[in-house]
C-alpha cells in the first residue's frame, strides 16, 4: 500500500471534512511532504485553529498550502507551522501542445515496481536540492507507484534518466524529473508529451503542474506555453 505523503494516495485516502467552532479544513495525504495535508484550511483566530488541530484524526506532521495573502498564514506560523517551500500552478490545454520526438537512444517505458532501485537513484539525482523532495523524505514512496496513475520513465540502456507521474484523466503532473547529465536534450518535454497523450486517452483535456517555484521550473513550463496561476506557500508542523 502506498505510504501517506505519496501523490497517488490523494484520491484514495482522504478523511471527512473537519470543522471546529470558527475553523474548517479537508484532511488528506500531502502530495509534497510525508504529512497530513489540511486542504482549504480556514480559521477565525488562533483559538479556533487550535481546536481544529485537536480534532484532526491523525498525528502530526501536518502540512498546509496557503496563498501569500491568506489570513490563515500568520495564524499557522504562530501555531508552530514552518515554511518549507513555495509552489506555482502551471496549466494549459492539451490541444496544440507540440509532440516531442523521442531522442536517439532513449525509450519510454511504463514504470514497474521492479525498477525501484534504479528509479530511486534517478529520483535522487534529479530532485536533490528541491525543498519538496527533502520534505518527502527517502524513500518518497514513488518507487512503489506502479498502477496508480500514468507513470512513465525514460530509459537510456538500462538506466532510468527521467520520469513523470501523472494523475489521469485529470492531467495533474505530480512528479517530474530528469537526471542532470541528460538535461537540455528534450527528455522532460518528451515526458510531458507522453503525459498529454495518456491524459487525452483517459478523456482529459488539460495538463496541470503544481511545481516548486524555481526559475528553471517556470522557464520550462513557459516554453511549453503553460499559463502561470496560483502561488502558494507550504508550511509544515512537525
Residue 59 exposure: Cα atoms within 13 Å on the Cβ side: 0
Domain assignments of the chain as residue spans, ordered by start: 7-86, 91-230
Render each residue's pLDDT in the chain as its tens digit; 238 residues: 233 334 444 434 557 899 999 999 999 988 889 899 999 999 999 999 999 999 999 999 999 999 999 999 999 999 999 999 999 999 999 999 988 788 889 999 999 999 999 999 999 999 999 999 999 988 998 999 999 899 999 999 999 999 999 999 999 999 999 999 999 999 999 999 999 999 999 999 999 999 999 999 999 999 999 999 999 999 999 9
Give pLDDT, residue 8: 41
Query: Is CATH 3.40.630.30 correct for 91-230?
Result: yes
Give pLDDT, residue 14: 57
Give pLDDT, residue 7: 43
Give pLDDT, residue 192: 97
Parallel, antiparallel or unpaired: strands 36-43 and 159-167: unpaired
Give pLDDT, residue 103: 86
Q: Cα separation of 34 and 144, whole Å?
A: 15
Assign 3-state DSSP to the chain and report helix, strand, coil percentages, each to 5: 30, 35, 35
Give pLDDT, residue 16: 82
DSSP code of 113?
A: G
Please say whether the beta carbons of 165 and 110 come within 8 A.
Answer: no
| Residues contacting 56, CB < 8 A, separation 6+ | 18, 27, 36, 38, 62
- Looking at the chain, the number of H-run helices and the number of E-run strands are 6, 11
Amino acid at each position: 500500500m502506498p505510504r501517506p505523503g505519496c501523490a497517488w494516495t490523494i484520491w484514495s485516502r482522504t478523511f471527512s471534512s473537519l470543522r471546529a467552532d470558527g475553523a474548517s479544513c479537508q484532511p488528506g495525504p500531502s502530495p509534497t511532504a510525508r504529512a497530513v495535508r489540511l486542504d482549504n484550511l480556514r480559521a477565525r483566530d488562533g483559538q479556533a485553529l487550535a481546536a481544529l488541530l485537536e480534532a484532526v484524526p491523525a498525528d502530526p506532521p501536518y502540512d498546509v498550502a496557503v496563498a501569500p495573502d491568506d489570513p490563515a498564514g500568520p495564524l499557522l506560523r504562530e501555531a508552530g507551522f514552518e515554511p518549507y517551500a513555495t509552489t506555482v500552478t502551471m496549466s494549459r490545454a492539451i490541444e496544440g501542445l507540440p509532440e516531442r520526438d523521442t531522442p536517439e537512444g532513449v525509450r519510454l517505458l511504463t514504470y514497474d515496481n521492479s525498477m525501484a532501485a534504479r528509479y530511486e537513484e534517478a529520483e535522487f539525482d534529479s530532485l536533490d536540492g528541491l525543498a519538496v523532495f527533502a520534505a518527502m523524505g527517502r524513500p518518497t514512496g514513488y518507487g512503489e507507484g506502479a498502477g496508480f496513475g500514468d507513470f512513465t520513465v525514460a530509459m537510456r540502456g538500462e538506466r532510468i534518466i527521467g520520469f513523470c507521474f501523472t494523475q489521469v484523466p485529470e492531467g495533474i503532473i505530480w512528479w517530474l524529473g530528469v537526471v542532470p547529465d541528460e538535461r537540455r536534450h528534450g527528455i522532460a518535454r518528451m515526458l510531458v508529451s507522453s503525459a498529454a497523450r495518456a491524459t487525452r486517452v483517459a478523456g482529459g483535456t488539460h495538463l496541470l503542474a503544481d511545481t516548486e517555484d524555481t526559475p528553471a521550473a517556470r522557464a520550462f513550463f513557459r516554453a511549453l506555453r503553460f499559463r502561470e496561476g496560483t502561488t502558494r506557500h507550504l508550511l509544515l508542523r512537525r
